[in-house]
Amino acid sequence: MARKFFVGGNWKMNGDKKSLGELIQTLNGGKVDPNVVCGAPSIYLDFARSKLDAKFGVAAQNCYKVPKGAFTGEISPAMIKDCGVNWVILGHSERRHVFGESDELIGQKTAHALESGLGVIACIGEKLDEREGGITEKVVFAQTKVIADNVKDWSKVVLAYEPVWAIGTGKTASPQQAQEVHEKLREWLKTNVSEAVANSVRIIYGGSVTGGTCKELASQKDVDGFLVGGASLKPEFIDIINAKA
């Protein structure tokens, strides 16, 4: 079965009701075929879900590993679902490297989010010194293993490969670099999870994806979509969504 193209827009800590409202109007007016999920700041999850057409999914950008409790500033999958939102982004490099989240914590969050019925966009990727040191595979396999150890139902998981050196820097991994890692990840899944999961799970690419770079990236055999940062706040997001069209 062909893997359905999947595009996530990660709005990060950007936008207000006015600018996001305008963006949502643009998106609602656009023609889109693939699965598209918009990652809104938690304070705007309700707003985004109520304004976006039903053809779009909405994702939280993070969540905690338990349903409720004395965890000031955190949100739980139960709260996310209560807002009508069905997805969460976990393990983004900014959570790992700016906020110090460990592989172990990301694994625990993944398990709890999936148990709560959310779909998970699970992010992995190496830093520049790791790529230059020749340990890209070692790093992304270790990150993937911790996620895989916490997944029972892979139909609810999208893997996002984001080389950290390409996020927000304007540097994009070449289509060949992206394909190479995606292919190796699929081989890892085949060996360590199952061939069925390796063939069905969507592995999407993130890291300075733009209207200009998206078509060639989308043409790669193992690139099943994108996780888009800055460009997801601009009208060109529609072009990226339709990169495969």
Report residue 35 as tokens: 């699965």
Q: What is the CA radius of gyration of the chain?
A: 17
Based on the residue annotation, tell me whether 97 is a catalytic residue of this protein: no
What span, in angstroms and rounded, lies between the C-alpha atoms of 141 and 147?
10
Across 192-209, b (16+ Cβ under 10 Å) vs e yields ebeeebbeebbbbbbbbb
Angstrom distances, CA of residue 207 to CA of 56, 152, 167, 215, 222: 22, 28, 4, 14, 16
Based on the residue annotation, tell me whether 183 is a catalytic residue of this protein: no
Report residue 112 as tokens: 């709890």
What span, in angstroms and rounded, lies between the C-alpha atoms of 179 and 194?
20
Q: Which of 80, 100, 82 is nearest to 92 (CA)?
A: 100
Selecting among 92, 94, 112, 126, the annotated active-site residue is 92
Selecting among 130, 162, 195, 216, the annotated active-site residue is 162
> Which residues form the catalytic set?
92, 162
